[in-house]
Structure formats: structure tokens, C-alpha cells
């Protein structure tokens, strides 16, 4: 197991609902260290650039509108096996399928408004960390 860095976003639904503190508490309880953080209000274009891999999918327009609808907290997290472990702590994309005790089971309200983002692999993590934190080393 190696120390990794991953990018997470506490999405506009969870920020608006006041879940930032509870979600950060879960990250810290799971031995993730916060190495960078920014509160952002993404433009539609910035959200489209971030989720470029999903361009053309039926949910792309609605997703990028949602992601640019309010404040979001973007963070780089570091820890052992951080990329895969964060995905476990987050739970399944669709909260209806998320395991008990995961962030999405607790705080997501739909498959779109699902409270958090986490990078899905090392290349994605490097792209996503660079997208928001050009001065932060991805590993």
C-alpha cells in the first residue's frame, strides 16, 4: 500500500445543507489528511471542464448546472491507498445503492445530488488535482 493523493469535492447540495463539518469529520476519522482546500463557486464552463469525460452523456447538462449552482469545497486528501479508500467512504454513486454509514447514504438526496466527488483512479486524480491546485504535487 502506498500513500496517495486524491481530489474530493463536497458538492453544492451538501454545502447548502450544512454538512461540510460532518463530512470532513468522516474523512478525518478515516485517516485522510487535508493537504489543500478551496471554497469555490464554479462557473458552468469550469464544471464542464472538470466533468469533460461525461460530455455527451444524458446527465451532463443537468450535472454541470448543479455543480455550478452554489458553493462547493474542493480538497486534496492524502492517505494510504487514498483513491480507492475514499470511494469506499463515499459509497455508490446512487445513494439508493450506497452502503450504510457511507457519506452518500447519509447525505446524498439523488444520483445527481450525491454530496461528494472522489477521483476514480491515479490518472484522474492527477488531472483533477491539477485542475484546481496547479501548485500541489499530485502524489
CB of residue 80 to ligand ATP, shortest distance in Å? 20
Sign of CA dihedral 84, 90, 91, 94: negative
Residue among 68, 69, 85 at smallest CA distance from 77: 85
CA distance 8 to 134: 15
Residue 59 binding target from ligand ATP, Mg ion, none, CB below 5 to 8 Å by type: ligand ATP
> x/- contact string, 51-70, with ligand ATP (CB under 6 A)?
---x----x---x-------
**Does 26 help bind ligand ATP (rule: CB under 6 A)?**
no
CB of residue 125 to ligand ATP, shortest distance in Å? 11
Residues 6+ apart with CB under 8 A from 72: 9, 10, 11, 12, 15, 39, 40, 41, 42
CB closer to ligand ATP, 44 vs 135: 44
Residues that bind ligand ATP (CB under 6 A): 54, 59, 63, 93, 111-112, 114, 117-118, 120
Amino acid at each position: 500500500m502506498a500513500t496517495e493523493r486524491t481530489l474530493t469535492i463536497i458538492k453544492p447540495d451538501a454545502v447548502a445543507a450544512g454538512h461540510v463539518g460532518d463530512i470532513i469529520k468522516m474523512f478525518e476519522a478515516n485517516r485522510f489528511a487535508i493537504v489543500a482546500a478551496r471554497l469555490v463557486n464554479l462557473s458552468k464552463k469550469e464544471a464542464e471542464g472538470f466533468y469533460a469525460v461525461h460530455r455527451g452523456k444524458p446527465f451532463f447538462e443537468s450535472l454541470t448546472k448543479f455543480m455550478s449552482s452554489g458553493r462547493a469545497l474542493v480538497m486534496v486528501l492524502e492517505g494510504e491507498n487514498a483513491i480507492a479508500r475514499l470511494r469506499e467512504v463515499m459509497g455508490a454513486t446512487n445513494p439508493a445503492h450506497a452502503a450504510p454509514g457511507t457519506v452518500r447514504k447519509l447525505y446524498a438526496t439523488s444520483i445527481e445530488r450525491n454530496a461528494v466527488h472522489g477521483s476514480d483512479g491515479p490518472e484522474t486524480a492527477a488531472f483533477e488535482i491539477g485542475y484546481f491546485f496547479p501548485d500541489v504535487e499530485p502524489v
